[in-house]
Amino acid sequence: MLTWPNFYSQLLNGLALGSLLALISAGLTIIYGTLGVLNLAHGALFMLGGYAGYVAYEETDSFLIAVVAGAFFVMVVGFALERGIIRYFYNRPAEDQILVTFGIGIVIVELVRAAFGNLSKTVPPPAWAAGVTPLGFMIYPTYRIAVLGIAAATLAALYIVLYRTRIGMVVRAGIEDALMVNMLGINVYRVFLLVFGIGAMAAGYAGIINAPVVSLTPDMGENILVQTFVVVVIGGVGSFSGAVVGGLLAGEILSLTSMVDPAYSEVMLFVIMTTVLVLRPQGLLGVQGRE
């Protein structure tokens, strides 16, 4: 479908898709960038946010409450996981961290499956963003346009918290030298708890924001996790702005390749990732040599 209208459509769609991917990837990269833990339960937390939002929506019929519920429920789960399990793994080998978070992910997915079954659940978009918007060259779902704005605003807010506030400064100092920060009288473990909670909340928030675009199934996190990793690797592991750039790039790759040959759009994602890894192993915006 190589026509100009389709090209514009796919360009816009790539942006919308990319902003969602960036939002989902942000939580993963925040946790890895600060705590050094590769959180393989991220996809499950993303799914959990969608389901928590779904329950809230069914109870209240309010999308706003669903978003708040989805984000906060997963944040609380994140706190519990950090206190109960994750913090015992900060000083253990990366393989242990990967295995434990992978296991947590499986448990969460199967709990949700036991509670809600395999049939998909849907959360409709808020009334003001329902339906389609004519854009001249095409019509586009209004909610997907709204997601562009929502994702941009959220990512900006996260950026400000992490890079322009005192707490963000402590977090970043904690990454560089946790022992030193501790000796300065700052409880670094409380900061780590907060970071894990924020990372989990970002996943849950993305889950409920994404919900009206898709339909919820217990397994939805699995495939999105793969794409999220690609985004993070392209952008630079642990780099917040890298996640944004990587997300947008991935969205455009998926969309634009599908015009030429849809069977290759996902393959192309991995081609680009491999190319980045060969030419710039730390990712587009990653810092070389940082653990």
Partner 1 sequence: MTVEQKKFSRVTRRGVLQAGGAIAASAALPRLAFADDMPAIGTWPAGSAGDSVFIGITVPRTGTYAASGEDELKGMMLAVDHINGGDPLLRKISPKTTKGVLGKEVKYVVADSAAKPNQAVEAQTRFINENKVVLMTGSTSSAVAVALNHFAQREHVLYFTAISGSNDTTGKDCVRYGFRQNFYAQTAAAALGPVLLKVYGKNKKAAYMTPDYTYGHTTQKAMEDFLTANGGWTTVTNQVSPLGAPDFSSYVLNVANSGADVLINVNWGHDAVLSTQQAKQFGVLSKMKLVFPYQIPFLAKELGPDVTEGVYVATDFWWTLEDRFPLAKMFVDSFQAKYGYRPEWGAENAYMSFALWADGVERAGTFYPPAVIKALEAGNHNDSVVGDVYFRAADHQLVRPVVIVRGKAPGDMKNPEDFWEVLDVVPGAPLMQAPDAFGCQLGDYT
- Residue 119 is a binding residue for partner 1 (CB under 8 A): yes
Residue from 14, 49, 105, 199 in contact with partner 1 (CB under 8 A): 14
Phi, psi of 39 (to 5 degrees): -90, 95
Min CB(194)–partner 1 separation in Å: 29
- Taking the least distance from each CB to partner 1, the nearer of 76 and 268 is 268
Residue from 60, 122, 165, 187 in contact with partner 1 (CB under 8 A): 122
Alpha helices for 211-239 (secondary structure H): 220-235
Pull the structure tokens for residue 238.
């642990």
Cα dihedral 144, 145, 146, 149 sign: positive
For residue 178, count other CB atoms closer than 10 A to its CB. 19
- Residue 103 is a binding residue for partner 1 (CB under 8 A): no
CA distance 265 to 269: 7
**Stretch of 162-170, 186-194, 263-271, 277-285 lying at the interface with partner 1 (CB under 8 A):** 263-271
- Residue 223 is a binding residue for partner 1 (CB under 8 A): yes
Q: How far apart are the first and last CA of the chain?
A: 44
- Residue 247 is a binding residue for partner 1 (CB under 8 A): no
CA distance 247 to 267: 16
User: For binding to partner 1 (CB under 8 A), which residues are involved?
Assistant: 1, 3, 5-6, 9-10, 13-14, 16-17, 20, 109, 113, 117-120, 122, 132, 138-141, 143-144, 213-215, 217-220, 222-224, 227, 254-255, 258-259, 262-263, 265-266
